[in-house]
Amino acid sequence: MHVDMMAGSNMLNTELAGVQANLDTLAFACRILYAKGHMASLAGQISWRDTFSHGYWTPALGSSFACASAETMVLVDDELNVMSGSGIPNPAIRFHTWIYRHRPDVQSIVHTHPTNVSALSMLGVPLPVAHMDACMFHDDCGFLPEWPGVPIGDDEGRIITEALGVYRSALLVNHGHVCACASIEEAIYLAVSIEKAAETALRAMAAGTIKPVRDDLAQAAHDFLLQPSIVNATFNYWRAQV
Ligand SMILES: [Zn+2]
């Protein structure tokens, strides 16, 4: 019995250490988004699914992404009731809970309106994949062709979840992007990468006709670029900068 209790206690400590490590990663993720120009206003959110606490961690509304820490996060349930931390969540993360419910593979979501993704979203075309550095979006970026207007309640969740489908990301016309990924690191990697892909696509579209990457080569590059070793090394490179 005593041994069982000890084992249970050790498991609990391991779980809690895992949560703390992910909250530290989430804080660095916020700082990276800020440093990369994604968070000029309150528009945009990030969240992480905590399977231990059965909730979602997200920055408290109005807390600065520039100096985010584990202490500036709040834990919310499916109805956005605060279970831990001080402050309230950004109410716009209601659509995140929709995605989490429909995509058990998704552990972290980033949604922002950075300049180049926003500009591309105004043209009403899907994200072109025409550069090797954009191949992580090959056959992995959904497209919402109509902005549904100011979203109300669960409508936004349903619409964005449908646009996302089985993909890791989606371009939302007249709006921005959403990245729904297997880890915080992958969500940041794609959020930063889609802004870069949109920037280069816009420059190329202004200069001439885009030449897409060949399908088979794009698929191989997609798989290469999304290896966890590359995703995590890139995240850590940015993490060191902030
Ligand atoms: Zn938005």
Q: Please provide the DSSP assignment of 184-206 as one string.
A: HHHHHHHHHHHHHHHHHHHHHHH
Measured in Å, residue 109 CA sits from the centre of ligand 1 at: 12
Measured in Å, residue 176 CA sits from the centre of ligand 1 at: 6
Dihedral angle sign, alpha carbons of residues 239, 29, 37, 180: positive
Percentage of the chain beyond pLDDT 90 is 86
pLDDT at 152: 62
CA–CA dist 232, 96 (Å, integer) = 23
pLDDT tens, residue by residue, 2-14: 556 667 788 788 8
Measured in Å, residue 14 CA sits from the centre of ligand 1 at: 35
**CB 107 within 8 Å of CB 48:** yes
pLDDT reading at 211 higher than 60: yes
Q: Where in the chain are the domains?
A: 2-241
pLDDT at 4: 65
pLDDT at 10: 85
pLDDT at 150: 75
pLDDT at 78: 95
* Mean pLDDT, residues 69-98: 96
pLDDT reading at 58 higher than 60: yes
Q: How confident is the model at residue 161 (pLDDT cuts 50, 70, 90)?
A: very high
pLDDT reading at 1 higher than 50: no
* Mean pLDDT, residues 14-29: 94
Measured in Å, residue 22 CA sits from the centre of ligand 1 at: 24
Q: Classify 2-241 by CATH class.
A: alpha beta
Measured in Å, residue 114 CA sits from the centre of ligand 1 at: 10
pLDDT reading at 115 higher than 80: yes
List, in sequence order, the alpha helices (H) in the chain: 2-35, 94-102, 115-121, 154-164, 184-207, 215-225, 228-241
Q: What is the mean pLDDT of the chain?
A: 94
Higher pLDDT, 130 or 39: 130
Q: Which two tokens stand for residue 50?
A: 């905590």
Measured in Å, residue 234 CA sits from the centre of ligand 1 at: 25
Measured in Å, residue 44 CA sits from the centre of ligand 1 at: 6
Measured in Å, residue 8 CA sits from the centre of ligand 1 at: 42
Q: How confident is the model at residue 153 (pLDDT cuts 50, 70, 90)?
A: low
